[in-house]
Each structure stands twice: as structure tokens, then as C-alpha cells.
Structure 1
Amino acid sequence: MKLNVLLVRFLVWRMKYISNNNFTLILSGIVGLVAGLAAVTLKESVHYIQAVLNKYIYTSGFDFLYLFYPLAGIVLTMVVAKYVLKEKLGHGITQILFVISKRSSIVKRSMMYSRMLTSAITVGFGGSVGLEAPIVVTGSAIGSNLAQLTHLNYKKRTLLIACGASGAISAIFNSPIAGVIFAIEVILTDVTINKFIPILLSSVTGSLVSLALLGDDLLFSFKLKDPFLAEHVHYYIFLGIACGIVSVHFTRLTYVIERLIKKVTNDWSRAVVGGIGVALIVLTFPPIYGEGYATIKQLLNGNDDIIFNNSLIYEGTDKTLVIIMLLFAILVVKPVASALTIGSGGSGGIFAPSLFMGGIAGYLFAKTVNFVLPITISTSNFTLVAMCGVMSGVLHAPLTAIFLIAEITGGYELFVPLMLVSAISFITISYFEKHSLYTKSLIEKGDLIQHDKDRQVLSLMKVNKIIESDLLTIKYDAKLEDMIKLIKKSKRNIFPVLNYDGGLEGIITLDDIREKMFDEEARKKIIVKEVMQLPPAEVHPDDSMQTVMNKFEVTQAWNLPVIDEGQYIGFLSKSRIFNAYRNKLINQDKE
């Protein structure tokens, strides 16, 4: 109680002495700080779990113990999510986008820690997913809840969600520019200078926290060794097309596998089936174990023997050909492992898998070119550029991909090929898939509307909030004379006609009875049912406002009844909807 009193006093003081814009800037710095701390905590927690598990493998002498770790991690994550946190996991960034679109940017308080806990277990035990999406969810939840605590409106809550996402990405990769662009490209749909500055502050703060606590111990980093050669530009063009195709493969196969695994309705069975599936894939292709950054780093350094570690596949006489075939096989099955990990109950994101797929694709491309043609192209450069290309395609975030790879390589020498491959990959996947993995399911369900202000505002309106229930009703077998009494009391010109079970039989307007109501003999003889008319359409309380407006447009009516399971609830009027729409529009445009 004392805390609430102190909070109220602080907010009153704040309103007197600190402007809304300045207060938002202060909060954005706080969100970036906390998101940065959360990112560092998650990364260190995962590394600690991995170190403990690897130590146990070393002391036990059982090299293939790691095959059982993903299964244990998925089952443990499912137990924690279902029985402790009581949450459904899935794709975290998709959930954040849904909250912004349909929940007024109000993120549950538990999401400030739930994704950190569950993803630490899943990834620490070798689940084939990444940490980036969970930490973005954590940062976004921190931003939303801080905004709720300080009683900020929808616009500011959404802005602080973006600040949290920006700070999280910036901290986990030490890439402040990529953090800003990710927040703008993926989380927000429209940006003004008032939004850009807080996101920038949050990103810088998150990066500083990471540098102060981790130094050079980043999630992924690499120093360029080879220069970009303009005479290889045509190879980069082909690489861009290849990255687009890999992105399509990743996106579509992920959807297919997640749908299949979710057909196993029992949570325990689904977790076991998914865990066993991941274990079998890891048994055949060990590089798929975990996030995969260690494998990519080895490939960047030219050590492709890493893909044979703990593998059942041996190098053979023609090592290069075996490596090419093995890398291609990894590209094919990696989406299966990631989708099984998430779909069966694990916690993680597709950020790291898309970078891993890109790294494998780029190294495979360069290795194949060097093997087939009498030329040598840089395997490290093509690996890095392809990471950008696949990430651009899968996430539909080309600018984020470009600046992320540029920042984690410590320079902009590859900027031209990064831009070229990112653009070509994005164009290629856009031909087959118009939406990213994050947004596709939401857009198909109508839960996310992009680049359409009218539909965005309508999506925020709920039928049950604007139902008019003050209309006076009359029974279908009443006399017209009884209705005259209602007309004297009512301020409306429409009257619902009900049966004795509460169902709607029809409606009567003053125009329907205007001539008869002044005929005293007719009033005593005519029954209401004889003069009522059927409504041109009915509305259900769960209908979207877009559906409701379509019904109004088709029927050209000004009023439509709301019916729920045969029971009359009330009426919707165009005038009430227009008024609510206007208020929503005004509130949305407030800064």
C-alpha cells in the first residue's frame, strides 16, 4: 500500500516537473539498462548450463550423452512452462506483435522472466534454437510493464516495447545500430523522430551494459580477414538467389513441421516425440546441436573438420565432396530440428537458426565454387554475407541483417555485398512468401494489420464495447396499442421484437407503423408480429470490426442486432461505430 502511495506521489511530481517526452527518454534509458542486464544474465546462464553438462560428459566418458540433453531440455521446459509458469511458449516475437496489435501493448508481467528461464533450459541443454527471440520478448515485456507502472498510454507503451527489443538485440550482439533497426523494422510499423531517439538511447544503453559486463565475450563476433573483390560480384548475385531459396525452404518447412508436431495433443507425448526427433537429427548431424555459433566460427576460420566431430559420417577418400554433401544435408534438416524444438514445447527463436542456415549456405556455396571452378573465392566472406542474406529472407528484415553482420565483423568492408545479397534474397523470398515467419500466422488470422491505418484502428475496436442495450423491447404477440406506450418512453425509433425465450423475432421502426399508430381501431387489432420486419443481417459479439463493417456495407443498414447463441444482446449502430472509430483515431495519433 505504501508503495502505491509513493508511486502516486512520484507520478504527480513527474507531471508537474518533467514533460512527457523527457520522461519517455528517461524510461527508454532504464529499459535499455534492464534489457541489457537481462541479456547478459541469459547468455551467462546458458553458458554455465552448457559448461556443467559438457563437464559431465568429460567426467563420465560417454561422448554421446549430449544426444539425450535436447530431449531432457525440451521435457523440462514443458514442465516449467505448463506447471510453474502456466504459459504457452511458441514464437516469442510473434506473441509480442500480437500483443501490440490486439492487446493494446499490455504484456503480461510474467513474460519479463518466463522466456529467460525457459530458453536458458532449452538452449542450455542443446535445443536447436537461439536466445535472441526470448531476450527480445524479455526486453519488450520490461518496456511494457514499466510503461504500465507509470500509466503511459498505448503509444508510449508500444514505444517502450520497441526500446526493450532494441536494447536486448544491442546487448546480446553488441550491435547498437542493428538493435535500433530491428526495433523499427520488426516491432514498429511507423517511425517519427520522437520515436527514433528513445529507441536509440535504449540501444546504446544496452550495448554499454554488454561491453561493461562481458567485454569481448560476445554471443557471436568475427574479424574480417579477406577483402571484398569487385570481380566476384556475379558470385554474390547467385549467392543472393540461393539465400532466398534457402529462406523459402526454412520458412515453409518450419510451418509444416510445427503443424505436424502439434497434432500430438498430449503435452508429455509431444515433448518426448520432439526431443527424440531432435536427438536423432543431432546423432546424424552433430553441428545442429544447440545454437550452432561455434560451428559457424570454425567454418569462418577455415576449419571444416568441425562437422565430422562426434559424427557417424567419416571423411572418406574425397573429403571435399563429402563436406559439400554433408553441408547440403544440414541445410535440409536444420529447419526440422528448430521446428521440433519450438513446436514440442521448447523455448527459443529462429534468429540464431536463420544465421546458422546462412553460414552453412554461404560456406557450402564458396566451397562448391572453389571445388568446381578453377578459382578461389573467400569462404569466410561468403559465409558472413550469406548469414545476412538468409536472415534478411526469413525475418523479412534486410536492414537489420545488413547492419548486424557489419557490426559483428567490426567494419563495413563487406557493406556492398551485404546490401546486394540482402536485397536479392529479400526479393526472392517475397515472390514466394509475402510475410515473415513472425507475422505470417498473425496476418492470416487477421490479428496483425500492416500498412493500413483504417484496418489497424478497426482492429482495436471490440463489438462488445459499443453494443447499445438501451433499446426498449416488445413481445411478438403484443398489440400495436401496447407499443404506443413504449414509443412515449423511448428516445429511439427502433424496437426489437422478442419471443419468450429472449430470441429476436424481428424489428419495428416508426416508419413501419407511422400510418397505423394514429388509427385507434387498428391499434387494438394489429399484432406486432404482423408489422415487424426481419433484420438484414446479424452480428455476433466475437465478430471482428472489419466483418461488422462489411455487413453494414452489404446491407446498407444503419442498425444491426447483436445475437449470441440465439439470444438478443443489443444493437450496433453506424453512428456509434463512427464515434468510437474517431476516438480511437484521436488516441492513436496522440504522442
Structure 2
Amino acid sequence: MKPTRPNFDRFRHKLASIDALPQLTLLGLVCGIVTAVIIALFRELITILSSLFLHGLPEGAYQQLTWAHRIILPFIGSILLIGIALTIRSKFRPVGVVHLIERLDWHQGRLKTGNFLHQFFAGAIAIASGHSIGREGPAVHLGAAASSLLGQCMRLPNNSLRILVACGTASAISAAFNTPVAGVIFALEVLMVEYSVAGFLPVMLASVSAAALTQLMYGTEPAFAVPSIAVSLLDELPMVILIGFVMGIISTVYCRLIIFFNKRTKTFTVTTRLMLAAGITSLLAIPAPEIMGVGYGTITELLNGSHIPVLLITLLACKLLATSASVGMGVPGGLIGPTLFLGAVGGALTATLVSAIPGFTTGSTGFHVMVGMSAMLGAVLQAPLTALVTVVELTKNPSLLFPALLAIVVAALTSTLLLRQHSIFELILDCWGYDRASNPVHRALNRMGISSLVNKSYVELDRWQSAQDIQDKLREQPEWLLVSDEGRPKALMPVMALGPFFEQEKGLSLGEDDELIDLLGVPAVRYDVCSLNNRASVYEAWELMKGKQIDALYVTDLIRRQEIRTVGIVTRESLQRYYRV
């Protein structure tokens, strides 16, 4: 009697299919809780380090430091970052959202523990020491990596790992900013670049569970304290369009500066790049200390008052250079926070300059700040839904939907059509030598695990067999023979391809019962084979067949350490027939 499959093996096998919604939803809940805990630990680490670097001042209060301290602090952070970078292996240095996209698109979402630990500690040091970066990039990497590592420890198929990465990403955004809807949209619009029920529901549950746990620990207050704003939307339409146009231009300058620093310093050592980034940030922090760190306090001030144009221009120019240098030179932080900062300053500056023109009046400065944040984020990420929902959730101001939507459209059109600018993540990937162009068929193939398509109607035989042994094996009526030589499968033969040697009623007549037959020498159709792990996706199987120029694979599973079993076979014809590729 055949032994029954253990329950967890059944769970893994079900995840390989395209309709594993209940299993994925359960995993999404687990990922949301795990990610919320990880992000809470990350936030606490930043708070502890900030208290050390800021000598007891509140987190983000860099403007209260003397100019000498503002110069020294980024260098201290860079020295610590250099120490970490030189201690770890080079393969563990890449971190952030771009690294995550690269692992998702070319490595099936299999992230590594070394990069996770590097991001956790280096990201906290970089943020606390005043580098002009945000915390969302590290948060996204940490959430996605925690979920991916959880799936890898459970030996889940690669197609489900991709969903877990999306769950971790959404949970991280949700936990870091208390924006559960924006987390879902970011994961699907920026990372996965696809929408499906199997992807939506687990990601939504992960985001909600992370938000619930985070609100339990930190409360439900929005990230920015926004005053009551009453504006006439029709009167403000010209200003909204103007802000969108200006943000399209600023976003293009911002993206091109990042790529400029990235390309110009690509051949520099890690030490040179991080020290140069510290030097630029330190110098710019002398006239504009608000550019240091995440800068959410400055955004709140912009939302609540009027400002001097000269100060706003200084903030805008210094933040542009400081963040572009930090991100472009590889400081392990994010760029969404600085992007919101630039949008806030740009929106306030545009409104302030227009209001100075005789005969022109503008409404609330806080309204223009929020519109600028939305437009800037949408143009930089080329993700309009993410930008729209993020700012609305951050400010808890639903009346922003219509004007923000219009500003995002204008900014995106300005940057893409007028200035030929792409998403910042795509630009950085291009600098790394990756092209994110993806065939929709490939995405479909990635959503299913190969173990859901394996054919188990086969028998394994050594190359040299007696006629009687072959006949005994064929009593199981298999479709295929998997022929091994020197302990490894070498070829796959269809039983019916034995042709004239196969007789339906009399069995095999290959010779005398004690005569050994060479199955690799028998005139018959044979396919060369190689192995594929049962956690692979169907797309990986298809690419392996193309790369090796073979037409069949045997799928294996690791039972225990060093013990591997064959669980089935897959042919090119079966994949073509199923997907009509």
C-alpha cells in the first residue's frame, strides 16, 4: 500500500497550483504579523541609535545640533557603514527596493539572510546618523526578506514565494507608515506589476494584519498632523495643474541626479562612495539642517504655515543634491521619504511664488504641500495609484483625492512624455545591467509551481536490464521509462516508442530472460534530461529546457539532508500543450 503524503507535503503541493487561495491567504496573515514585529524592532533600533547620535534630543531634531555636529554626524555613520560593508561578503551588500525587484524578477523572490541583516543594521545607522534618506526602502526590504526567508525555511514552491514577497512588502509599508491600502497598491503596482485574485487577497490580509498590530503598539495617529483645510477645488484647478507641471520637472531632475551619481561613482570603492556621500550631506546640512534624516518634522511644519521663498529654494536645492548623492552612492536607505519632502517643499514654493504676483491669490499652503507630495511621488515612481493612496492615508484627508489625482496625471505626463523620464527603480536597474521588460506569458508561468504539472506515470530503470525485469516493470503500465546510468537519470523514453519490440499481448521480446538489454542503445525515441527542484516555477522549467536545449526534465525533492528523490517528469510537449506557449 502506498504511504499517504504528510499533511505539510500536501500543503506545499497545493501551493504549487494556481488556485491555492486559502493556503496563500493563511500565509499572508502569518507574513503580516512577522513583518510587523520586524519593522517594530527596526523602528526601536533607529530610536536607540538616534538617542545616541543626537545626544538625547528628539528623533529627527538635527536642526538643534551645532553646525560642527551636523558635519561630523554623517561621517560617523559612514564610518560604521564602511565597517559593516567591509566585514560582510560582497554578495550581501545590495539592499533596498531595487535589490528586491532584482531578486523577485530574476531569482524567484529568494532573498538571503545576509542581505536582510545588512539592511537591518546598516539602514538604522544610516537613518539615525542623518544621511538624507528615508526608512521605507529598508522597511520594504526587511518585510519582503522576512517573508521570503520564512517561505524558504518551509521549503515552499517558488511561485508562492513571489506572493510572500508581495505580502511582506505590503506589510512593511503598512507597518512603517500606518498606510495599509498604500502598502497593497505599492506591492502590486511597483513590485509585482500585476493584479490577480490569488495575489490580491493574501497581500490585503497581510497588510491589514500588520497595520492592526502596529496600531496596537504605536497608536492610530497619521504620520502628518494636517490642519483643517477648506478650499474651492474649481478655484484651485490652475494652481493644481501648475504644481503638477513643476513636480514633473523637479522629479526628472531628481531622477537624473541619482543616476548621475550612480554612474559616476560606480567604479569607486565602497569607502570612497560612502565618505563622499557623507561629505556632501554634511556640507549641505550647514545651511539647511532640515535635509538630514527622514524629514517628516519639516513636512509637518510646511503643512501648518507660510514660508519664505528663499528658505524653500535652499531646502529644495540642498535636499535634491543630498538625497541624490546618498541614494546614488549606495547609502542603505530609501527614497520615498525624501521624495515626499521634495514634493512638499516644491508645492509650498510654487504656491508662495504665485501668491507674490500682484493680482494672484492662493488658498491654504497646506493644501498645496499635499498636492505637491502626491505629484512628486507619482512622477518619481511612475506609480500613480500608489502615490495617490499614500498621501491620502498619510494625511488622513480624503478631500485630497480629486486635486491629487489631477496633479499626478500632469506630473507623470510632464516627466514621461515631455522629458522622457522613466521610473527611478527602472533607471537604477538599468544602471545595474538589468532589463525589467517581462512577457505576460512569463508572468503567468511564474504563478504556477512545476510540481502541479509533473507526470507520475513513469518507472525508473537502470541502463542495463534483463527482459524479464523490464516486463515486470511494465506491468505497472507506465507512460514513460526514466533510464539511469551511473546512478543518475540520463534519458526519458516513452514506453510506446519501443516500437517493434513492444507487443501488446506478449509483453517485451527483447531477448532471452537472462540477457541484459542496453536501454540507451535500443532503437527508440529518447529525450535527454536534467534535474529540476520541485520548488521551481513552470517558467523556470521552461527556461531550463530552452537553455539546455532538451525536451524533458525529472523533478526532484529533498527528503532529508543529502537524500533526494524523483517525484515526477515534465516534457516540453506537456508545457506547450497546457499553456499553448
Q: If the length of structure 1 is used for normalisation, what is the TM-score?
A: 0.70
The separation in 2 between residues aligned to 1:438 and 1:583, in whole angstroms, is 37
What's the CA shift string for 1:56-75, capped at 9, x where partnerless?
689x9855312211121122
Q: Give me the CA root mean square deviation.
A: 3.7
The 8 Å contact of residues 139 and 165 in structure 1, kept in 2 or not, is answered as yes
Residue in structure 1 matching 2:423, options 436, 447, 458 = 436
Amino acid at match of 2:304: N
What's the CA shift string for 1:381-403, capped at 9, x where partnerless?
11011101100011111111111
Aligned counterparts, 1:84-483, within 5 A = 84=88, 86-87=90-91, 89=93, 92-216=96-220, 220-229=223-232, 230-263=234-267, 265-302=268-305, 304=307, 323-374=308-359, 375-431=361-417, 432-443=419-430, 447-450=434-437, 452-453=439-440
- 3-state SS of the aligned residue for 1:55? coil
The 8 Å contact of residues 75 and 275 in structure 1, kept in 2 or not, is answered as no
Q: 1:64 to 1:236 in 2, by over 3 A?
A: same
Q: 1:446 to 1:342 in 2, by over 3 A?
A: closer
The 8 Å contact of residues 123 and 348 in structure 1, kept in 2 or not, is answered as yes
Q: 1:408 to 1:575 in 2, by over 3 A?
A: same
What's the CA shift string for 1:396-444, capped at 9, x where partnerless?
1111111111112213111110111111111111123453111224357
Q: 1:127 to 1:14 in 2, by over 3 A?
A: same
Q: 1:381 to 1:343 in 2, by over 3 A?
A: same
Cα deviation for residue 351 of structure 1 reads: 0.8
Once the two structures are overlaid, the 10-residue window that deviates more, 347-356 or 107-116, is 107-116
Q: 1:226 to 1:88 in 2, by over 3 A?
A: same
What's the CA shift string for 1:255-280, capped at 9, x where partnerless?
102222334x2332332222112111
The 8 Å contact of residues 457 and 585 in structure 1, kept in 2 or not, is answered as no
Cα deviation for residue 97 of structure 1 reads: 1.0
Structure ranking higher in helix proportion = 1
The separation in 1 between residues aligned to 2:396 and 2:195, in whole angstroms, is 28
Structure ranking higher in strand proportion = 2
Q: 1:110 to 1:365 in 2, by over 3 A?
A: same
The separation in 2 between residues aligned to 1:433 and 1:213, in whole angstroms, is 44
Amino acid at match of 1:360: V
The 8 Å contact of residues 45 and 120 in structure 1, kept in 2 or not, is answered as yes
What's the CA shift string for 1:533-560, capped at 9, x where partnerless?
xxxxxxxxxxxx9xxx9xxxxxxxxxx9
Amino acid at match of 1:356: F
Amino acid at match of 1:274: A
The separation in 2 between residues aligned to 1:87 and 1:286, in whole angstroms, is 34
Q: Determine what percentage of the aligned residue pairs are the same residue.
A: 24
Match of residue 50 from structure 1: 50
Cα deviation for residue 85 of structure 1 reads: 6.4
Match of residue 31 from structure 1: 31
Amino acid at match of 2:434: D
The 8 Å contact of residues 70 and 278 in structure 1, kept in 2 or not, is answered as yes
Q: 1:270 to 1:20 in 2, by over 3 A?
A: same
- 3-state SS of the aligned residue for 1:40? helix
Q: Does 1:11 align with 2:8?
A: yes
Q: If the length of structure 2 is used for normalisation, what is the TM-score?
A: 0.72
- Point out where structure 1 has 5 or more consecutive residues left out of the alignment: 1-7, 305-322, 461-468, 471-487, 494-544, 550-559, 561-570
Cα deviation for residue 223 of structure 1 reads: 2.7
Q: 1:350 to 1:490 in 2, by over 3 A?
A: farther
Cα deviation for residue 86 of structure 1 reads: 5.0
The separation in 1 between residues aligned to 2:388 and 2:205, in whole angstroms, is 21
The 8 Å contact of residues 110 and 161 in structure 2, kept in 1 or not, is answered as yes
What's the CA shift string for 1:92-118, capped at 9, x where partnerless?
111111111111221112333321211
- 3-state SS of the aligned residue for 2:68? helix
The separation in 2 between residues aligned to 1:588 and 1:296, in whole angstroms, is 51
Q: 1:297 to 1:346 in 2, by over 3 A?
A: same
Count of residue correspondences: 464
The separation in 2 between residues aligned to 1:204 and 1:341, in whole angstroms, is 32
The separation in 1 between residues aligned to 2:552 and 2:300, in whole angstroms, is 60
Once the two structures are overlaid, the 10-residue window that deviates more, 352-361 or 20-29, is 20-29
What's the CA shift string for 1:176-203, capped at 9, x where partnerless?
1111111111111222112111010001
The 8 Å contact of residues 89 and 347 in structure 1, kept in 2 or not, is answered as no
Amino acid at match of 2:416: S
Q: 1:224 to 1:173 in 2, by over 3 A?
A: same
Cα deviation for residue 289 of structure 1 reads: 1.1
Match of residue 78 from structure 1: 82
Cα deviation for residue 585 of structure 1 reads: 7.7
Amino acid at match of 1:153: P
What's the CA shift string for 1:500-524, capped at 9, x where partnerless?
xxxxxxxxxxxxxxxxxxxxxxxxx
Amino acid at match of 1:394: V
The separation in 1 between residues aligned to 2:20 and 2:313, in whole angstroms, is 54
The 8 Å contact of residues 67 and 286 in structure 2, kept in 1 or not, is answered as no
The separation in 1 between residues aligned to 2:167 and 2:228, in whole angstroms, is 34
Cα deviation for residue 445 of structure 1 reads: 6.6
Match of residue 486 from structure 2: none
The 8 Å contact of residues 254 and 335 in structure 1, kept in 2 or not, is answered as no
The 8 Å contact of residues 111 and 138 in structure 1, kept in 2 or not, is answered as no
- 3-state SS of the aligned residue for 2:425? coil
- Point out where structure 2 has 5 or more consecutive residues left out of the alignment: 59-63, 448-489, 492-519, 526-538, 554-569
Amino acid at match of 1:442: L
Amino acid at match of 2:205: L
The separation in 2 between residues aligned to 1:382 and 1:454, in whole angstroms, is 43
